[in-house]
Amino acid sequence: MSIVTRFPPSPTGYLHIGGARTALYNWLYAKRYGGRMVFRIEDTDRERSTDAAVEAIFDGMRWLGLDWDDGPYFQTQRFDRYAVAIQQLLDSGRAYHCYCSRERLDELRATQMATKQKPRYDGHCRDLDRAPPAGVPPVVRLRTPQAGDVVVADRVHGDVVFNNEELDDLIIARSDGTPTYHLTVVVDDLDMGITHVIRGDDHLNNTPRQIHILEALGGTRPVYAHLPMINGPDGKKLSKRHGAVSVMQYRDDGFLPDALLNYLARLGWSHGDQELFTRDELIANFDLDGINKAAASFALDKLLWVNQHYIQTSPMSTLVEASRPFFAGAGLDEADGPALDQAIDAQRTRARTVLEIVDKSRPYYGWEVALDPAAAAKQLTAAALPVLEALSVAFSALPAWDQAALHGVVETVSATLQMKMGQVAQPLRVAVTGSTASPSIDVTLMLVGRERAIARLGHAIAWIRNQDPTASSA
């Protein structure tokens, strides 16, 4: 059997973490078994669906590199097909017209609530033996079996039994003839040859109803796998309260798509205790057996850790591409500083996100440097004045601005002033970068460049004199 999975988002908002994980699992499963993934936009809810959301979902899929083999299909383009299916169910007697008024249904519901019964349709029109009321456009309801069980053989949860008595005759077409959600999903899954329905746990209760529609249409059941929910660290369903839930927000926060993908794969699925997977490893190892039953917990720390790994190991071209817009956004221009790959190379072992790389690279571009007040107070002192002056003289005299020569200057100045290397390097670092944390001092100086370094030493010297007019040179 060739495997066909599907990702059918409702375009009511951006692609969120849960949706992306569903897409990923369907993608992985299809890839693993040489199958196909169908991409379908469930846009029949015209009030809540927007073109912007469709675009946002496409953007998220593209950014994550999740492609599809079939589609995208839009449910709004398939109304004719749904009408045929509804008629088929009416003709076969598996569905019927219901003329009950809103008032009658409200009253029924109120009575059921008052007598502590579960609100459900009472089958009033199920076997209508009188003429239907004139001028009332009917809805169509599925004739659901009234006894027995539906056993959903779920690949994650095992057999889940639903009693048919609990399921009433659900509406499959509204009085204006438009199909309802359950009908469209089932017709599409049937027409598109879906063999595996892999979706969130929140759809598990829909499954017995959808099975009834499917079987009434003569279809056979796909394999079902309902994925555990994703909670925030407090154990409550992941939501905006916990931070970003939009996939694209993670891009904007400096995460790499491969890192988010790796993290999402592990959010509800495991393969031994392996945490880091390439895409190929995920494809080779992903299976429904590894999906956890219990809800997953979204942990930003872990995502940062995974991202850090990808920042350290991704090809430079990937990092340059991912960080270029952030450098531009921060006003850091390659024409006015080192090539991006050099800045990235210096910072990649120290950063957890692309944004951090960019932020730490600020001293390499432009002329201003923001002095960290604590670093300045500690390092730019009267004692540092002779150090910075000696460095400034030596740097100006250097014939070439190269790493070995710069290292030599720091060594010579330390020896001449009888100081430890660190006593020279730290004030120098603060003078040229504004902070005490940076890659090795010679790499830092290379990236800052001669003119900027000497100008900043001059500023630091003036700053010290300004703070302490009694400070004296060597």
Residue 8 binds ligand GLU (CB under 6 A): yes
Residue 60 binds ligand GLU (CB under 6 A): no
Distance from C-alpha of 396 to C-alpha of 369, rounded to nearest angstrom: 20
Considering only residues 27 through 56, tell me which ones interact with ligand GLU, judged by CB under 6 A.
42
- Given a contact cutoff of 8 angstroms between Cβ atoms, the answer to whether 428 and 441 are in contact is yes
Tokens of 205: 């209760």
**Measured from the CB of residue 49, what is the shortest distance to ligand GLU in angstroms?**
10
Sign of the Cα torsion 40, 44, 48, 50 reads positive
**Measured from the CB of residue 53, what is the shortest distance to ligand GLU in angstroms?**
11
Q: Which stretch binds ligand GLU (CB under 6 A): 4-12, 92-100, 385-393, 400-408?
A: 4-12
Residue with the CB atom nearest ligand GLU in the bound state: 199
Q: Which stretch binds ligand GLU (CB under 6 A): 8-16, 25-33, 300-308, 453-461?
A: 8-16
**Measured from the CB of residue 207, what is the shortest distance to ligand GLU in angstroms?**
9
Could you tell me where the DSSP H helices lie in 36-127?
51-64, 79-91, 102-114
Residues contacting 446, CB < 8 A, separation 6+: 338, 342, 401, 402, 403, 406
Distance from C-alpha of 182 to C-alpha of 166, rounded to nearest angstrom: 17
**Considering beta carbons, is residue 237 or 302 the nearer one to ligand GLU?**
237
- Given a contact cutoff of 8 angstroms between Cβ atoms, the answer to whether 290 and 29 are in contact is no
Residues 10, 249, 270, 412: which binds ligand GLU (CB under 6 A)?
10
Distance from C-alpha of 68 to C-alpha of 203, rounded to nearest angstrom: 22
**Measured from the CB of residue 374, what is the shortest distance to ligand GLU in angstroms?**
49
Number of H helices, E strands in the chain: 19, 12
Q: Is 293 helix (H, G, I), strand (E, B) or coil?
A: coil
Instruction: Give residue 307's Cα distance to chain centre.
Output: 12
Considering only residues 66 through 105, tell me which ones interact with ligand GLU, judged by CB under 6 A.
none
**Considering beta carbons, is residue 10 or 416 the nearer one to ligand GLU?**
10
**Considering beta carbons, is residue 75 or 379 the nearer one to ligand GLU?**
75
> In one letter, which amino acid is 377?
A
**Considering beta carbons, is residue 8 or 232 the nearer one to ligand GLU?**
8
- For residues 300 to 339, the per-residue mask of contacts with ligand GLU, x marking binding by CB under 6 A and - elsewhere, is ----------------------------------------
Distance from C-alpha of 382 to C-alpha of 468, rounded to nearest angstrom: 7
- Determine what percent of the chain falls in helix, strand and coil, rounding each to the nearest 5: 50, 10, 35
- Single out the catalytic residue among 116, 237, 240, 360: 240
- DSSP secondary structure string for all residues of 241-289: GGS--BHHHHHHTT--HHHHHHHHHHSSB-STT-----HHHHHHH--GG
**Considering beta carbons, is residue 31 or 199 the nearer one to ligand GLU?**
199
- Count residues near ligand GLU (CB under 6 A): 7
- For residues 195 to 214, the per-residue mask of contacts with ligand GLU, x marking binding by CB under 6 A and - elsewhere, is ----x---x-----------
**Considering beta carbons, is residue 59 or 359 the nearer one to ligand GLU?**
59
**Considering beta carbons, is residue 194 or 311 the nearer one to ligand GLU?**
194
Residue 221 binds ligand GLU (CB under 6 A): no
**Measured from the CB of residue 402, what is the shortest distance to ligand GLU in angstroms?**
58
Considering only residues 169 through 188, tell me which ones interact with ligand GLU, judged by CB under 6 A.
185
Q: Dihedral of the CA atoms 295, 301, 303, 306 (nearest 10)?
A: -130
Tokens of 23: 């897409």
Look up residue 337 and give its DSSP letter: S
Residues 3, 4, 5, 9: which binds ligand GLU (CB under 6 A)?
9
C-alpha gyration radius of the chain: 32
Q: Which stretch binds ligand GLU (CB under 6 A): 5-13, 23-31, 435-443, 465-473?
A: 5-13
**Measured from the CB of residue 199, what is the shortest distance to ligand GLU in angstroms?**
4
Q: Which stretch binds ligand GLU (CB under 6 A): 3-11, 137-145, 254-262, 408-416?
A: 3-11
Q: Is 435 helix (H, G, I), strand (E, B) or coil?
A: coil
Secondary structure of 361-385 in the HEC alphabet?
CHHHCCCCCCCCHHHHHHHCCHHHH
**Measured from the CB of residue 291, what is the shortest distance to ligand GLU in angstroms?**
15
Quick count: other Cβ atoms within 10 Å of Cβ 55?
Answer: 12
Q: Which residue has the tokens 């995974």?
A: 306
Q: Which stretch binds ligand GLU (CB under 6 A): 2-10, 316-324, 393-401, 417-425?
A: 2-10
**Considering beta carbons, is residue 173 or 185 the nearer one to ligand GLU?**
185
**Measured from the CB of residue 196, what is the shortest distance to ligand GLU in angstroms?**
11
Distance from C-alpha of 302 to C-alpha of 417, rounded to nearest angstrom: 46
Verify whether residue 240 is a known catalytic residue: yes
- DSSP secondary structure string for all residues of 306-326: HHHHHHHHS-HHHHHHHHHHH
- For residues 134 to 173, the per-residue mask of contacts with ligand GLU, x marking binding by CB under 6 A and - elsewhere, is ----------------------------------------
**Considering beta carbons, is residue 10 or 381 the nearer one to ligand GLU?**
10
Q: Is 97 helix (H, G, I), strand (E, B) or coil?
A: strand
**Measured from the CB of residue 171, what is the shortest distance to ligand GLU in angstroms?**
17
Binding site for ligand GLU (CB under 6 A): 8-10, 42, 185, 199, 203
Q: Which residues are catalytic?
A: 240
